[in-house]
């Protein structure tokens, strides 16, 4: 298939965002429901906002990035697609492939950070840019072979479509907004979280969490409004009903009377006072002191009245609990529930160990997808340009992800939960801790207060409600042989 021009590509068969990214959770948008039908680039923008601004999703993305950055990457020698560490030519080709990673403009770990875009977008396209290894400043090697200059990331939001070959019905070119022309698919290393869909977009891992995120954002906004209403109240300005009626008086030609214009000015002044007071632009308020004594003898009720209406401060629904539940739902989409162990008084070591193991397996699966796509596209392209024997093409492999770091996080959070349970259940321990905190200059007093706090903690009823399992390798020294 000849490379099309931009105009021809726009008229060719393409696939857009609407079909693969249409989401419907059973809500009718015409009915004004909180979670309507959404799809296309609007969904991708929401997923991008989730990854950048949501605290839970941000923690998940940081955990994924930091964990993958600790992996070491190398090539395994292969012959005809099977591992072989004895064949000299296979070993030489694997070493050559390792030099491709070392000779790129960006570090392999920096490349992994852009590859993680597939978590929120479902796909992470990178354009393969080659260079000839002639030594000097451009390359550390001078073997005259073609190597990888960079795997340039392309923003998923900038991909406008894909051009299909009319004969093979396979993807032939990638279209990008602002590019000079279509990019041949052979030069695109496109990492995807799932290959279950026939299109190159994949399925975002955060898509199942989108509904929970929308509901969480709405709950946070509702909570902020409720806090504002309880703390500052809602400004209310009362004016006489006669003033409102006078403001609507008109002449025979439908124009407002002089009295109506004056009444409208008073009403508008009241509205302005309410707004300025609400947004803290006014420090005080001046209003008439007239009463209804002229209409009703002895009635001292003021005609104009201003006050702040507040709620009782009691709500039947705890919004913080609702938000935490949504946070856990979001974390479950990528098996990272262990990040929330300890934010309540529960959570055991066994639970943190199991959940960190699931998270480790999910991250290991991401590295496998990266390795497979890199070999299938980047290495294949380099081998084709250099005319190398495809029988000896190696495979990229990442080191195993250690569970120690993930387990440590879970154990630490679990310990915080236990401390919180002790703190909430023992007022004496709280008192002693506060006393110790105030004894800054007296070390002897600090040590005495600390000893008292420890003794109080030992007598607490914590073991009745919170289990204290002994962790392997952390037994007291006197109990070890």
DSSP 8-state secondary structure symbol assigned to residue 379: I
Confirm if 64 and 366 have CB atoms less than 8 A apart. Answer: yes
Summary mean pLDDT of the chain? 75
pLDDT tens sequence across 23-49: 333 344 444 444 444 556 778 888 898
Helix (H, G, I), strand (E, B) or coil at 236: strand
400 vs 478 pLDDT, higher one:
400
pLDDT tens sequence across 314-353: 666 777 788 888 888 787 777 655 555 545 544 444 445 5
Query: Hey, how many other C-beta atoms are within 10 angstroms of the C-beta on 269?
Result: 14
Secondary structure (DSSP) of 100-159? HHHTSSS-HHHHHHHHTHHHHHSEEEEEEEEEE--STTT-S--S--EEEEEEEE--GGGE
Please tell me the distance from the alpha carbon of residue 105 to that of residue 151, in angstroms, as a whole number: 9
| Alpha carbon distances (Å) from 134 to 97, 341, 382 | 17, 54, 16
Length of the chain: 481
pLDDT tens sequence across 241-254: 888 888 888 988 88
Burial of 197 (0-12, 13-18, 19+ CB in 10 A): middle
The pLDDT score that the predictor gives to residue 378 is: 94
With cut-offs at 50, 70 and 90, classify the pLDDT of residue 284: confident
């Amino acid at each position: 298939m000849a490379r099309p021009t931009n105009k021809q590509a726009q008229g060719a068969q393409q696939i857009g965002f609407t079909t693969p990214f249409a989401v419907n959770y059973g809500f009718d948008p015409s009915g004004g429901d909180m979670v309507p039908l959404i799809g296309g680039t609007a969904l991708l923008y929401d997923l991008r906002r989730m990854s950048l601004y949501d605290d839970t999703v941000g923690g998940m993305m940081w955990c994924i990035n930091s964990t993958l950055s600790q992996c070491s990457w190398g090539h395994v020698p292969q012959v005809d697609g099977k591992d072989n560490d004895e064949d000299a030519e296979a070993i030489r080709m694997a070493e050559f492939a390792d030099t491709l990673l070392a000779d790129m403009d960006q570090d392999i770990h920096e490349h992994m950070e852009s590859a993680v875009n597939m978590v929120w977008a479902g796909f992470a396209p990178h354009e393969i840019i080659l260079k000839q290894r002639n030594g000097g400043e451009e390359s550390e090697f001078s073997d005259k072979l073609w190597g990888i200059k960079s795997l340039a990331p392309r923003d998923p939001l900038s991909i406008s479509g894909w051009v299909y070959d009319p004969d093979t019905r396979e993807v032939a070119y990638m279209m990008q907004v602002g590019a000079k022309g279509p990019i041949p698919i052979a030069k695109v290393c496109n990492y995807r979280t799932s290959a279950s869909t026939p299109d190159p977009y994949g399925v975002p891992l955060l898509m199942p969490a989108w509904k929970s995120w929308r509901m969480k954002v709405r709950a946070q906004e509702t909570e902020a409004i409720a806090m504002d209403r309880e703390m500052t109240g809602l400004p209310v300005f009362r004016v006489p009903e006669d003033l409102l009626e006078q403001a609507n008086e008109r002449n025979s030609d439908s124009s407002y009377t002089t009295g109506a214009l004056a009444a409208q000015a008073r009403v508008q002044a009241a509205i302005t006072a309410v707004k300025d007071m609400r947004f803290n632009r006014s420090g005080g308020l001046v209003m008439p002191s007239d009463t209804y004594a002229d209409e009703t003898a002895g009635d001292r009720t003021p005609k104009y009245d201003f006050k702040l209406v507040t709620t009782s401060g009691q709500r039947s629904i705890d919004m913080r609990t609702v938000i935490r539940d949504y946070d856990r739902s979001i974390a479950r989409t990528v098996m990272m529930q262990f990040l929330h162990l300890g934010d309540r008084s529960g959570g055991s070591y066994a639970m943190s160990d199991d959940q960190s193991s699931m998270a480790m397996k999910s991250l290991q699966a991401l590295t496998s997808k990266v390795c497979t796509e890199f070999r299938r596209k980047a290495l294949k392209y380099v081998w084709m340009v250099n005319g190398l024997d495809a029988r000896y093409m190696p495979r990229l492999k990442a080191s195993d992800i250690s569970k120690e770091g993930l387990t440590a996080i879970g154990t630490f959070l679990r310990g915080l939960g236990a401390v919180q349970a002790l703190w909430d259940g023992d007022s004496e321990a709280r008192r002693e801790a506060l006393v110790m905190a105030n004894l800054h200059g007296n070390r002897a007093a600090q040590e005495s207060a600390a000893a008292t706090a420890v003794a109080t903690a030992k007598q607490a009823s914590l073991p009745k409600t919170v289990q204290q399992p002994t962790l392997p390798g952390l037994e007291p020294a006197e109990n070890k042989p």
